């Protein structure tokens, strides 16, 4: 008997993308005092924070729900 593959819950991937984007933004912002992170230009930090905000807006405005 083959095991059925469990489908991810609606919105799970959306929340995961938001979590990854937020964690990346917080880590880049928090560790920018370390010498390797000081080499990152400001626009990289800006775009990672922008990505996190866009993912949050997508979760809040158009969440994936059960059909």
Please give the pLDDT value at position 66.
61
Read off the pLDDT of each residue in 43-60 and give the average, rounded to a whole number: 90
Please give the pLDDT value at position 63.
79
Task: Say how far apart CA 30 and CA 13 lie, in whole Å.
Answer: 25
Task: Note if the pTM is more than 0.85.
Answer: no
Q: Taking Cα atoms as reference points, which of 7, 6, 22, 4 lies closest to residue 58?
A: 22
Q: Taking Cα atoms as reference points, which of 12, 16, 6, 9 lies closest to residue 55?
A: 16
Residue 67 has pLDDT above 90, yes or no: no
Residue 52 has pLDDT above 80, yes or no: yes
Residue 1 has pLDDT above 70, yes or no: no
């Amino acid at each position: 008997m083959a095991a059925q593959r469990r489908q991810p819950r609606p919105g799970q991937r959306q929340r995961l993308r938001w979590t990854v984007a937020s964690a990346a933004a917080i880590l880049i912002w928090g560790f920018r005092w370390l010498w390797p992170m000081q080499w990152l230009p400001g626009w990289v930090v800006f775009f990672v924070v922008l990505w996190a905000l866009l993912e949050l807006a997508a979760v809040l405005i158009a969440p994936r729900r059960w059909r």
